[in-house]
């Protein structure tokens, strides 16, 4: 029998990002991945910049290149990514250890899933992250001065 051709219908990255009709946990998932990648990128740049001192270049001392406001703001973004990643990470640890998802139940329509069970935890963690962000913004962006 001749091999029948198939059309590859895998969503690829669109499967992450095509989130128009999806639930809040999926957005949390996407943001967790993006902030993780962002922090990793920052870490790599950080290594490069600090290693420049071997060549006698100190970009971070007073009055140097890295003291422009845009970098200050960039630093705040890294902090924001960290705050989100850390607090959402605590939720994920609790969820993935099966602690915050509830026990198996008899499915009765309309179904209540583990998503409903862990949702309060998500809300608490996001409030904590937001509080962290506000406090950090005060300091980083010089709002408190």
Q: Which residues bind another protein (CB under 8 A)?
A: 4-16, 20-23, 25-26, 28-30, 32-33, 92, 95-99, 101-109, 111, 113-115
Q: How far is the CB of 121 from another protein (least distance, A)?
A: 11
Nearer to another protein, 49 or 119 (CB): 119
Neighbouring C-beta atoms of residue 132, cutoff 10 Å: 17
Residues 6+ apart with CB under 8 A from 115: 23, 25
Minimum CB–partner distance for residue 37 and another protein (Å): 13
What separation in angstroms does the CA of 133 have from each of 43, 110, 136?
A: 20, 37, 5
Our CB check for another protein shows the closer of 122 and 133 to be 122
9: tokens are 């219908």
Cα distance between residue 66 and residue 137, in whole Å: 18
In whole angstroms, how far apart are CA 19 and each of 10, 30, 84? 15, 9, 19
Q: What is the closest distance, in whole angstroms, from the C-beta atom of residue 21 to another protein in the complex? A: 5
Nearest to another protein of 85, 140 (CB atom): 85
Smallest gap from Cβ 42 to another protein, in A, equals 21
Identity of the residue, 69 or 107, whose beta carbon is nearer to another protein in the bound complex: 107
């Amino acid at each position: 029998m001749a091999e029948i051709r198939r059309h590859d219908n895998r969503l690829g990255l669109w499967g992450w990002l095509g989130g128009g009709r999806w639930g809040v946990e999926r957005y949390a998932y996407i943001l967790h991945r993006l902030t993780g990648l962002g922090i990793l990128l920052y870490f790599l740049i950080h290594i490069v910049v600090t290693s420049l001192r071997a060549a006698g270049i100190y970009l971070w001392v007073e009055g140097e290149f890295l003291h422009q406001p845009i970098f200050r703001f960039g630093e705040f973004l890294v902090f924001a990514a960290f705050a989100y990643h850390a607090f959402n990470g605590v939720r994920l640890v609790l969820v993935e250890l099966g602690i915050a998802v509830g026990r198996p139940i008899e499915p009765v329509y309309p179904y209540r899933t583990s998503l409903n069970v862990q949702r309060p935890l998500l809300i608490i963690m996001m409030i904590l992250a937001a509080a962290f962000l506000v406090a950090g913004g005060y300091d980083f962006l010089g709002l408190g001065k």
